[in-house]
Copies of this chain bind each other. A is one copy, B any other.
Amino acid sequence: MTVLQQFRDINQKIKQYEEALAVIYWDLRTGAPRKGMDIRSEVIGTLSSEMFRLSTSQELGQLLTELESEHNWEQLDELNRRLVQETRKEYDRSVKIPPELYQRYVVLTAQAENNWELCKQNNDYASFQPYLEQIIELTNQMIDLWGVKETRYDTLLDQYEPGMTVQQLDQIFGELRDELVPLAEQIASSPHQPRTDFLEGQFDIAAQKEYSLFILKQMGFDFDAGRLDESVHPFATGLNPHDVRITTRYLADDVTSALFGTIHEGGHALYEQNISEQLVGTTLCTGTSMGIHESQSRFWENVIGRSRPFWNRYYRDLQQRFPQLAEIDVDTFYRGNNIVKPSLIRIEADELTYNLHIIIRYEIEKMIFNEGLQAKDLPRVWNEKYKQYLGIEPPSDAEGVLQDVHWSGGAFGYFPSYSLGNMYAAQFMNTLQQQMPDIWQKVEAGELHPIKDWLAERIYQYGRLKSPSELVEQITNEPLNPAYLAQYLKEKYTDIYKL
Contacts and interface: CB of A to CB of B under 8 A. Distances in A.
Interface residues of A, number: 37
Given A35-B222, A40-B19, A242-B36, A13 B46 contact: yes
A39 B280 contact: yes
B20 A43 contact: yes
A225 B27 contact: no
Interface in A16-61: 16-17, 19-20, 23-24, 26-27, 31-36, 38-40, 42-43, 46-47, 50
Nearest to A50: B50
A452 interface: no
Q: Count this chain's copies in the assembly.
A: 2
A31 B223 CA distance: 11
B227 A35 contact: no
A389 to B, nearest CB: 40
A39 B23 contact: no
Interface in A347-389: none
A254 interface: no
Contacts of A50: 50
A461 to B, nearest CB: 17
A443 interface: no
Contact of A243 (B39, B47, B245, B281): B39
Contacts of A225: 33-36
Nearest to A32: B243
Residue among A13, A43, A223 facing the most chain B CB atoms (10 A cut-off)? A43
A268 to B, nearest CB: 16
A116 to B, nearest CB: 18
Interface in A250-309: 280-281
Given A33-B224, A222-B35, A243 B40 contact: yes
A157 interface: no
Q: Which 3 A-B pairs have the closest CB atoms?
A: A36-B243, A35-B242, A36-B242
Interface of A: 13, 16-17, 19-20, 23-24, 26-27, 31-36, 38-40, 42-43, 46-47, 50, 222-227, 239-240, 242-245, 280-281
Given A19-B43, A32-B227, 14 more contacts: A13-B46, A20-B20, A23-B23, A23-B27, A24-B24, A31-B227, A33-B225, A33-B226, A33-B244, A33-B245, A34-B225, A35-B222, A36-B240, A40-B239
